[in-house]
Amino acid sequence: MPEHMAFSFSPKLGIDLGTTTVLVYVPGRGIVLNEPSVVAVSVRDNKILAIGNDAKAMIGRTPGEIIAYRPMKDGVIADYRVTEAMLRYYIRKALGKWNLFRPEVMVSVPAGVTSTERRAVVEAATKAGAKEAYVVKEPILAAIGAGIPIHEAQGHMVVDIGGGTTDVAVISLGGIVASTSVKCAGNAIDHAIADYIKKTANLGIGDKMAEEIKIQIGSAVPVEEELTMMVKGRDHLTGLPRSVELGTNEVVRAIGKELRTMIQAMKDVLQETPPELAADIIDNGITMTGGSAQLRNLAELVFRRTGVKARVAKDAPYCVAKGTGEALKHLETYKKAIISKR
């Protein structure tokens, strides 16, 4: 048991604070928490009723006096007070209630984050009970989590596709050489699917249903053998519940515009990349991480549009969280790639 004793006085936590999901990583234990970043608040007295899984179950199903919403918008804090409460809840839950020591916390932020937004994250984490809060850009963490040797003099391109943002970055020697961040990712794809079904089938569906369609039958390129599923929602004309059958290629059509935006972000970064690093990227390919990188055939689409081979990292949704854990283990080495604010 001595190893636990060693870091028990100042536990370390890595938090992947995403628009849709919060993951908490404890070095030595792995991912201890994986819950949606949703908070349910009562309208009357502005009290927080539920956080995480309990709150997500309420989305789209709440009576008037309860709202379930996401305090993070596009990877950035939109509601400060609620984010702080959410962080406090997750930190406490990850460490257990017997822990008396304040943890060192590392939080991920999108690559395009402003210094004000970064400060908000640090303050929220500190107020939520962190002794020290470090903020690191997502692509760097995603690269570490995907097992890319980021400190070598080699160019690697990472595309992190989460719920709110798609982060694209070229990394060499532990730093970001060129990067961009677009507010078009998993959530945008869900909305596009819902809009398409509303337009073509006159059917209103909720966010959860849209996400399910994406996961079950979605694809980035048209396929020969389509998957189908029954989509349930509310008919816009009669107002009554109805279901329609939807096939993969319709989903491809529905999300074309969003995928183009994401591919364009990759092209923009490739165009900014110095020639030597561009040569490395041809050799090493593009590594895709994040939950929405799991969309069927996305790597194929990237290859068709950019001419660069792409692959989806192992455990794509967990790369950023794993990266925080790795970076915490070797905090000294990563200090220079990390902006620490007391």
pLDDT in tens, 267-320: 999 999 999 999 999 999 999 999 999 999 999 999 999 999 999 999 999 999
- Exposure of 208 in the CB half-sphere (CA atoms within 13 A): 9
| Number of neighbours of residue 84 by Cβ within 10 angstroms | 20
Average pLDDT over residues 214-227: 96
| Residue 35: pLDDT band with limits 50, 70, 90 | very high
pLDDT of residue 192: 97
Structure tokens at 274: 């110095």
Determine the length of the chain: 342
* Domain 2-140+319-341 fold: Nucleotidyltransferase; domain 5 (3.30.420)
Q: Are 109 and 138 in contact (CB under 8 A)?
A: yes
Question: How far is Cα 45 from Cα 49, in angstroms, rounded to an integer?
Answer: 11
| Sign (positive or negative) of CA dihedral 236, 242, 243, 244 | negative
> How far, in Å, CA of 164 to CA of 131, rounded?
28
Confidence (pTM):
0.89
Q: Which CATH topology does 148-312 take?
A: Nucleotidyltransferase; domain 5 (3.30.420)
Quote the mean pLDDT of the chain. 90
Inform me whether the pLDDT recorded for 261 exceeds 70.
yes
- The SS3 of residue 64 is coil
Interior CA angle at 237 toward 235 and 243, to 5°? 20
* CA nearest neighbour of 159 among 151, 171, 175, 149: 171
21 alpha carbon, distance to own chain's centre: 7
Give the pLDDT band of residue 111 (cuts 50, 70, 90).
Answer: confident
**Residues whose CB is less than 8 angstroms from the CB of residue 213 and which lie 6 or more positions away in sequence, other chains included:** 193, 205, 229, 231, 246, 251
67-71, 207-211, 221-225: range with lowest mean pLDDT: 67-71
β-strand pairing of 156-161 with 166-172: antiparallel
Asked if pLDDT for residue 148 goes beyond 80, the answer is: yes
Q: Where in the chain is the domain with CATH 3.30.420.40?
A: 2-140+319-341, 148-312
Distance (Å, whole) CA 177 – CA 340: 20
